[in-house]
Amino acid sequence: MCRWSHGQADMTGTLLVGDLGGTNCRLGLVAPGSGRIEDVRSLANDSATDFIALVRGYLNGRTMDRLTLAIAAPADGDRIPLTNRDWVIDRAEISAAFGLRELRIVNDFQALGHALARVESLDCVTVKPGEPSRQGTRIILGAGTGFNCSARLANGSVVVCEAGHTTFAPLTELDRRLQAAMSAKYTRCSVERLLSGSGLREIHALTTGGDADQIDGAQLIAQAMSDRDPAARASCETFARLLGQQAGDLALLFQATGGVWLSGGPTRALRPLIETRDGPFQRAFAAKGRMRPILERLPVHLVTSDQAAIAGCLALSNTGA
């Protein structure tokens, strides 16, 4: 059983915390006064017709009073369409369906940013040692179904952006080919078109002449990491290089002297390419010209669990942020 603890607990009702992505939803319950997330499960979104049905299946007759939900989309408005799934999150429908007295919906990276308040409670490993500032800004970024980033400032506030929808900046001839192909297919090439699970498949399709829709991303990474397929290895190294390039850019933009945290399923699966000192990720991360000494001092950590966002939801619920 997975347990997260995060500070003072609300004593007045059962809390459900959730992290709803494009592919999966992670859910956990916090009993009144416990301050711990219990019965954490990761459920495939394809297993339900909508979010309400997914939660009902998880609860299986249990009740809740409050819900804090992180979603992979901007969290504004009463009806929120998910960015990478054909679901609409309707605040009134959810509240009525479960009789909630409190509903809080936030962007998933806002939740991740709040999880950085207590990094010691996160399951993570240091993939690039460095010299962090104890009071410096911390950032967390992730390549999963999509791509995004948030920053936790020294004063405890969290800044969320839409980094995945910024324009991809090519550096190599391969990058320019990727940019041209994605622009032809989607009218423009954003960062997320390449730094995501589907982006890895697009990279491999372009370099091998295959069909991205017919490529199994998990199998591709497994073949690359076992060195059974040189083409798969090359595609994953390209992905790791682009991830390092983007992580270094974001570290400079936010002046992340407190360190960088990486999240997301593809990112975790590519750990050998990220933690190698002279590997594609770390070379690209530090390759910032006159800014190289700054990047070389920054530590990079890899979040090894997919449950960090629900820890951030618990932090948000306890602080009222």
- What pLDDT shows up at residue 2? 41
Q: What is the pLDDT of residue 12?
A: 63
Partners of residue 128 on adjacent β-strands:
300
CA dihedral 190, 194, 198, 201 (to 10 degrees): 150
Q: Is there a domain that residue 186 lies in?
A: yes
Are residues 154 and 108 both part of a single domain?
Answer: no
The structural domain count of the chain equals 2
Is 60 a member of any domain? yes
Residue 200 lies in a domain: yes
In this structure, are 161 and 270 located in the same domain?
Answer: yes
* 276 and 196 housed in the same domain: yes
280 domain residue, yes or no? yes
In contact, 273 and 279? CB cutoff 8 Å = yes
Note whether residue 52 is domain-resident.
yes
Same domain? 143 vs 214: yes
Residue-level pLDDT at 317: 83
CA distance 247 to 234: 20
**Residues 144 and 283 reside in one and the same domain:** yes
CATH, residue 132: 3.40.367.20
Give pLDDT tens digits for 8-64: 444 468 999 999 988 899 999 999 888 889 999 999 999 999 999 999 999 999 999
Domain that holds residue 314: 4-114+308-319
Residues 134 and 255 placed together within one structural domain of the fold: yes
What pLDDT, on the 0 to 100 scale, is given for residue 13?
A: 83
Low-confidence ranges of the chain (pLDDT < 70): 1-12, 319-321
**Domain shared by 77 and 96, yes or no:** yes
Q: Residue 47 belongs to a domain with what CATH number?
A: 3.30.420.40
- 81 inside domain: yes
pLDDT at 190: 98
Residues 102 and 135 in one domain: no
Q: How far is CA 60 from the centre of its chain?
A: 28
Residues 172 and 257 in one domain: yes
Rounded-to-integer distance, Cα 150 and Cα 157, Å: 11
**One domain for residues 198 and 89:** no
Residues 289-309 have pLDDT tens digits of 999 999 999 999 999 988 889
Q: Let me know whether 60 and 182 are in one domain.
A: no
User: Cα(118)–Cα(120) distance, rounded to whole angstroms?
Assistant: 5
**One domain, residues 74 and 189:** no
**119 in a structural domain:** no
Nearest to 243 by CA among 264, 225, 222: 264
